[in-house]
């Protein structure tokens, strides 16, 4: 690993000097600027399509929490790729959810503009709410994120030939950038979502190496991913010439931390010429399915995955620092049946910890309540920049505002591109984590 200009001790000392108190700030008024973050840094949050159901996390919550005014980009997760290599939507359980995307009507209480959807408007659901959010927050960009862990199944097929790449990209632009949605009752139609999406985020997990159990991968994915990025850039730029002067559609990608996966799937200097930025995997370094507790998102870790190792791996392979956006988790990984005593870290565990939505995975909002309950002790590795909760039996490793301040100091000192969050529905109702990152990125 290359030596860095700023030692980790100096960085932690710098982060410790940041203000400890974060003021709860109401959304900006119409009389003032809508965005408080520094324009020098990107602040990218993933909004999950399915979060509107069990978590009841609506687009309007981004406005009431003040999060929207602190974001530069929202990545809408996810768009799927069909077996014939095209972007598609519909109401297909486990494959597509047009109901959530643009069919579902919102009442006044859950609408960004406070006005209920009608039965006849062509765009409703999350897409219409994101359009309203952009109207309230000029400068906020919305990207369609394609793939994800479960929906990267057919990426390799779609990227396999020049013809398949051209058809794949054209289908994605038609559906999302041009907004030509399938008709579903009164919803959809030609141009129904035109102007909503400002670009495309490629979340292929992973070109050239294994991802989910049914995801196809091939050795030639590495070159094909480069060609796919080039095709997206070409078609986005061509379409931009038909729009208002100066329009630029952004192109980003979610990329891995493991050097083996980077080398198997990414021609770094070549793709970075066409990508506006990449969102670095800054979490899931260790997961609750492992038999031993560990950190999932440490800033530094000796002989292990970490944020610093990930940044260094991409820099070493030719990525510009200004295009590296550091991923931060708004959730924790947890284990139960932990034995061995001490603070619980690096100890044997029996199973993933019970949780609200998925064993071993818990939103920050819930973990904050555990931290405040007095039942758990908050432990910190200040040298390496991570935290965890332990009650003697159950351990959760997570990022809280103090950890995020250290990470934003790191971003500023290394002149990186900004911060990314998975996912926005894990934050507190008042946007505690977003505020912490915003405060950290605007320090001077």
Which residues have a catalytic role annotated?
Answer: 205
Phi, psi angle pair for 383, to nearest 5°: -65, -40
Strand locations in 12-165, DSSP E?
42-48, 73-81, 87-88, 91-92, 96-97, 141-147
Contacts of residues 365-374 at CB distance under 8 Å and 24 or more positions apart, as own/partner, are 365/426, 365/427, 365/428, 365/429, 367/331, 367/332, 367/396, 367/398, 367/400, 368/400, 368/428, 368/432, 370/396, 371/400
Query: Checking DSSP bridges between strand 361-363 and strand 250-255, what pairing results, if any?
Result: unpaired
- CA dist 341 and 299 (Å) reads 25
Tokens of 367: 């973990």
Tokens of 113: 């503009």
* 157 in Cβ contact with 164 (< 8 Å): yes
- CA dist 129 and 175 (Å) reads 18
- CA dist 260 and 222 (Å) reads 12
Phi, psi angle pair for 22, to nearest 5°: -110, 115
């Amino acid at each position: 690993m290359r030596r860095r200009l700023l030692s980790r001790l100096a960085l932690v000392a710098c982060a410790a000097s940041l203000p400890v108190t974060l003021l709860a700030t109401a959304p900006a008024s119409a009389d003032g600027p809508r965005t408080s973050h520094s324009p020098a840094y990107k602040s990218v949050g993933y909004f999950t399509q399915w979060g509107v159901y069990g978590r009841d996390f609506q687009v309007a919550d981004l406005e009431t929490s003040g999060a929207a005014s602190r974001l530069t980009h929202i990545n809408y997760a996810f768009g799927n790729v069909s077996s014939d290599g095209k972007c598609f939507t519909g109401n297909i359980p486990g494959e597509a959810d047009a109901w959530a995307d643009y069919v579902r009507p919102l009442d006044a209480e859950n609408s960004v503009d406070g006005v209920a959807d009608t039965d006849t408007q062509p765009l409703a659901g999350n897409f219409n709410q994101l359009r309203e959010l952009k109207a309230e927050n000029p400068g906020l960009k919305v990207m369609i994120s394609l793939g994800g862990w479960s929906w990267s199944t057919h990426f390799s097929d779609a990227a396999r030939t020049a013809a398949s790449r051209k058809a794949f990209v054209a289908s994605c632009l038609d559906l999302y950038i041009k907004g030509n949605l399938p008709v579903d009752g009164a919803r959809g139609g030609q141009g129904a979502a035109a102007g909503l999406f400002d670009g495309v985020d490629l979340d292929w997990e992973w070109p050239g190496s294994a991802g989910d159990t049914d995801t196809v991968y091939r050795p030639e994915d590495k070159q094909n991913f480069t060609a796919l990025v080039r095709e997206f850039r070409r078609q986005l730029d061509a379409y931009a010439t038909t729009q208002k002067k100066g329009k630029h559609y952004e192109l980003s990608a979610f990329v891995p931390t493991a050097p083996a996966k980077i080398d198997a799937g990414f021609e770094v200097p070549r793709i970075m010429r066409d990508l506006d930025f990449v969102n670095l995997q800054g979490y899931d370094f260790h997961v609750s399915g492992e038999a031993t507790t560990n950190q999932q998102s440490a800033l530094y870790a000796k002989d292990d995955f970490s944020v610093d190792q990930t940044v260094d791996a991409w820099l070493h392979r030719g990525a510009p620092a200004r295009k590296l956006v550091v991923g931060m988790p708004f959730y924790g990984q947890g284990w139960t049946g932990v034995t061995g005593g001490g603070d619980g870290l690096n100890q044997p565990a029996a199973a993933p910890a019970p949780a609200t939505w998925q064993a071993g995975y818990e939103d920050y909002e819930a973990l904050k309540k555990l931290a405040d309950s007095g039942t758990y002790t908050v432990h910190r590795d200040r040298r390496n920049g991570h935290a965890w909760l332990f009650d003697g039996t159950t351990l959760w490793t997570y990022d809280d505002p103090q950890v995020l301040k250290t990470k934003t100091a790191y971003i500023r000192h290394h002149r990186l591109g900004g911060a990314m969050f998975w996912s926005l529905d894990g934050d507190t109702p008042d946007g505690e984590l977003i505020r912490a990152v915003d405060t950290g990125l605007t320090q001077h």
